[in-house]
Structure 1
Amino acid sequence: MATWLDEHRGVVFGALSVIAVAGAGLFYWRQPAQTPIEIIPAETAAPTATATTPPANTPTPAPVRIYISGAVAQADVYFLPAGSIIKDAVDAAGGFTADADPDRINLALELQDQQHIHVPHIGEENPPPPVEGRSAAPVSAPVRGGASGGGPVNLNTATPEELDSLPGIGPAIAQRIIEYRESVGGFSSIEQIQQVSGIGPATFAKIADFITVE
C-alpha cells in the first residue's frame, strides 16, 4: 500500500488540488451577491422663504379740470396734472396773447379742480376775478356779466371782452360773434349764436346759462 502511494503521490496530490479548487469555486458561486453600499450625502435643508408683503400701490392723483379764458391763445377747458399752477394752464392754452396783462394774476397759484382762470387784457375794465371756482368746498358757477359785472351777457350789446369771458369763447370767436351780429342786424334768440363759426352744440351748452338776447 505504501509503495502504491509513494508511486502515485503526485497524482493523488494533483487530484486533491483539483477537488479543493473545484470545491472553493462551488462555494464562492453559491454565495449570494452582495449589494454595494451607497453613501448618500445628507440633504442640505433648503432655506425657508420669507413671506414679503408687496408694496402698497399709491393711487395717482386725479387731474384737475380748469377753464381758462381771456388773453390766451386758445381759451378752453383743460385737464392738467394735480399740483399744476396757473402758469401751466396758460402754457396749455397756447400762452399769452400780445395784449395780455399777466401782472394782474398770480401765475404761481396752485390750481384746484373746476376753477375758472381769467387772464385780463391790457386796459380791460372790470374783468372777472382772475381765479374763480373751488377751494376747499364747491363754489357755484359764477354768472358772467358785461362791463358792470352783473347779469348775463346780452349778445346784442356785448363787447369783445364780455364775450371773451364766456366759457369756451376766446378773442377770435368773440370777434366772429360781433361780426355776425353786425351782418344780420342782431340776434333774435340765444340759439342763433350757433350760426357763428366755431360755436357748436357743445360750446353752446357751456354758455347758454350766461347769455341773453334783449
Structure 2
Amino acid sequence: MPERDPRRLAAWAAAGVVLALLSAWYLTRSRPAADAAPPPAVATIAAAREPTAEPDAARGARVVVDVSGAVKRPGVYQLTTTDRVEDALERAGGPTRKADLTALNRAAKLEDGRQILVPTRGRPATAAAPPASGSGGGTGAAPSGPINLNTATLEQLDTLDGVGPATAQKIIEYREQHDGFKTVDELDQVSGIGEKRLATLREKVTV
C-alpha cells in the first residue's frame, strides 16, 4: 500500500477547516433575526388609553338658584358652582323674546340661593342679592310700600297675604305671557286669586 504524503494530508485538513468556517459563517448570516419583543399586555394598553377620571372637586359643589322673570320656565334649579348664569337660563328654557339681557351678566358664576331675575324690555329690573349669611332662612319682612306686580320677585310676591310660592309663580308666569299687568284688577285672571283675595291685595300692589 503506497505511503501517504503528510503534506498533502495537512493541506486537506486545512481545506476542511476553512470549509467548515465558511459554512458556519453562511448559516449565521442566513439565520432570521430574533423575534421582536412581544407587545405590551392588552390591559396595559387599555389602561394607558383610558382617560383619567375628573376629580369630584373639579365639578363644583351643588347650588340652588331661582330663575324668574322673562324666561320660558321660571323656577328653582340645581346646578354647580362651576356653572354660569347662562347655564341657569338654559335650564329655565332660555329667555323669552321680550327678555332684556343687556343688564344681565351671563358669564357670572352661580352662588347658592341666588335669584336670577331676567327683566322684560321697557320695564325696570329689580336687583336680587344673594341670601345674607347668618341667622334667618325665611323670605324676610314685606316691603313697606306697594309691590309692583311687573317687577316683583317670587320672594317679594310670597310676602303678600294669601299668596304662597305657588301663586307667586303663577303671577310671574301670567305677566310674562301677557307682557305684564296693565291694571291691578288683572290679578283675578291668575289661577288661585279670586274676588275676595283680590280685594285684600288691591292696596298692597301696583303696576
TM-score (norm 2): 0.47
Whose Rg is larger? Answer: 1
When the two structures are superposed, what TM-score results if normalisation uses the length of structure 1? 0.45
